[in-house]
Amino acid sequence: MRTSLSDEFGLDLSLFAFSYMPDVVAAVCKAGGMGVLGAVRFTPSELKEALDYIEGEIGGRPYGVDIVMPAKTEAVAGMEVGEMHAMLQKMIPQEHRDFVERVLDQYGVPKLPADAETGRDLLSWNDTEARQQVEISLERPDVKLIVNALGPPPKDVVDQAHAAGVKVAALVGRKDHALKQLANGVDIIVAQGTEAGGHSGDVATMVLVPEVVDAVGDHPVLAAGGIGSGRQVAAALSLGAQGVWTGSMWLNTAECGQPDIMYKKFAKATSSDAVRSRAYTGKPARQLRTAWTEAWDDPDNPAPLGMPLQYMLNAEAQDRIRRSGNEELMGTPIGQLVGSFTEVRTVAEVIALMKDEYQRTVTALPRLAPSTDTVRPGDRS
């Protein structure tokens, strides 16, 4: 599972792993891949803490940070976070707030206790905090990759990373998006098919990866969406990718620290239970089908708001759902891969299985190559 890209980063495996859990990131790095921390849930000071933790675990190995830099930031560029938050809160219609309460009531989800610590409702997918996260990440000598989701990162941010000797990767769901990323100076394209967990487009990995590989010339491409086994890695490399970018598979590991209910729901889910819905963030994102997604996707109910308002509307509800352990409502972004989840394993175990299956797959592949003595007259290839 080595390619010229993994060699460039000094990795044993061309396996790139997105996770918002520092423990998963560290375990992937220790197993020879590149863990990339999803930073959007962290405040700047929480991010520093998480990076300290990872570095304490991985002893100088390279790792990455994934930052969500929204493309259209003119309206709020440079705005102070508190001011931005207040402005956005006022934009949420009462009808939507009432609907959230009705759904929670229907499933008997209690209010939060008065002293409960609540999660953030405006994540770091705003220009101000995303830029702070870039600065924090670039101060770390072992951060070798910055990854951006949701559109091309601003050109000055790419330049800033390059000046620090750090490569920039970006997620795309379409060939034309890949070309826009390259125009902004991005080094590595993550071609993410619709199977993927989280925000996704509508083109499948099998179609998207070769399309993007052919379009981007010498730039390396990582294949993403529906990759979680050695056979899938072999397929991705056969499509011309230089490595794989993975997300969902780590949700079913011990290090991810999911509530037991979630692991049980994963075990029961089929691939068709990972639905693309605007329920979570306002943009189409693949996630586990729940009573919550069904409620938002019902055309008789209020339509989900745009991003970031939908997540702001949702955040406290999600805290309440998790806290109450409500099985019908509890979900997560996840890809179609969930249908193949079996038992919960450690990251190291999962990677060992993947490597083993990859090895067996590529060892068997030469049997498919036509050899001169088996070619019959009339065979054309």
Ligand X SMILES: Cc1cc2nc3c(=O)[nH]c(=O)nc-3n(C[C@H](O)[C@H](O)[C@H](O)COP(=O)(O)O)c2cc1C
Polymer length of the chain: 381
User: Which residue in the block uniquely carries the two structure tokens 């951006």?
Assistant: 148
CB of 367 to ligand X, least distance (A): 29
**Within 286-325, which residues bind ligand X (CB under 6 A)?**
none
Of 66 and 187, the one with the shorter C-beta distance to ligand X is 66
CB of 165 to ligand X, least distance (A): 22
273 belongs to the binding site for ligand X (CB under 6 A): no
Distance CA 378, CA 174 (A): 39
Of 96 and 235, the one with the shorter C-beta distance to ligand X is 235
Contact letters for ligand X, residues 37-56 (x by CB under 6 A): -x-x----------------
Closest CA to 142 of 9, 322, 331, 287: 9
With contacts defined by CB under 6 A, name the span among 75-83, 84-92, 210-218, 333-341 that binds ligand X: 333-341
198 belongs to the binding site for ligand X (CB under 6 A): yes
For the chain, the helix, strand and coil percentages under 3-state DSSP, each to the nearest 5:
45, 15, 40
Q: For residue 195, give Cα distances in angstroms to 12, 149, 177, 264, 274.
A: 26, 16, 18, 21, 8
Distance CA 319, CA 112 (A): 8
CB of 63 to ligand X, least distance (A): 15
201 belongs to the binding site for ligand X (CB under 6 A): no
Omega prior to 308 cis, within 30 of 0: yes
What residue is closest to ligand X based on CB? Answer: 247
CB of 372 to ligand X, least distance (A): 40
CB of 247 to ligand X, least distance (A): 2
Distance CA 304, CA 135 (A): 33
Distance CA 191, CA 177 (A): 10
**Within 98-157, which residues bind ligand X (CB under 6 A)?**
147, 149
* 157, 357 contact by CB (below 8 A): no
282 belongs to the binding site for ligand X (CB under 6 A): no
With contacts defined by CB under 6 A, name the span among 43-51, 156-164, 218-226, 354-362 that binds ligand X: 218-226
Among 33, 64, 220, 225, binds ligand X (CB under 6 A): 225
337 belongs to the binding site for ligand X (CB under 6 A): yes
CB of 357 to ligand X, least distance (A): 16
Of 126 and 332, the one with the shorter C-beta distance to ligand X is 332
Distance CA 196, CA 208 (A): 12
Of 96 and 241, the one with the shorter C-beta distance to ligand X is 241
Residues in contact with ligand X, counted by CB under 6 A, come to a total of: 27
Handedness of CA 65, 70, 74, 76 (dihedral sign): negative
Distance CA 363, CA 22 (A): 34
User: Which residue in the block uniquely carries the two structure tokens 């790792």?
Assistant: 63
Edge-to-edge strands, sheet with 198-199:
198-199, 285-288, 274-277
**Helix, strand or coil for residue 199?**
strand
With contacts defined by CB under 6 A, name the span among 5-13, 107-115, 295-303, 328-336 that binds ligand X: 328-336
CB of 118 to ligand X, least distance (A): 20
- What is the C-alpha R_g of the chain? 21
CB of 197 to ligand X, least distance (A): 3
Interface residues with ligand X (CB under 6 A) are: 18, 38, 40, 66, 68, 147, 149, 171, 192, 195-198, 224-227, 245-249, 332-335, 337
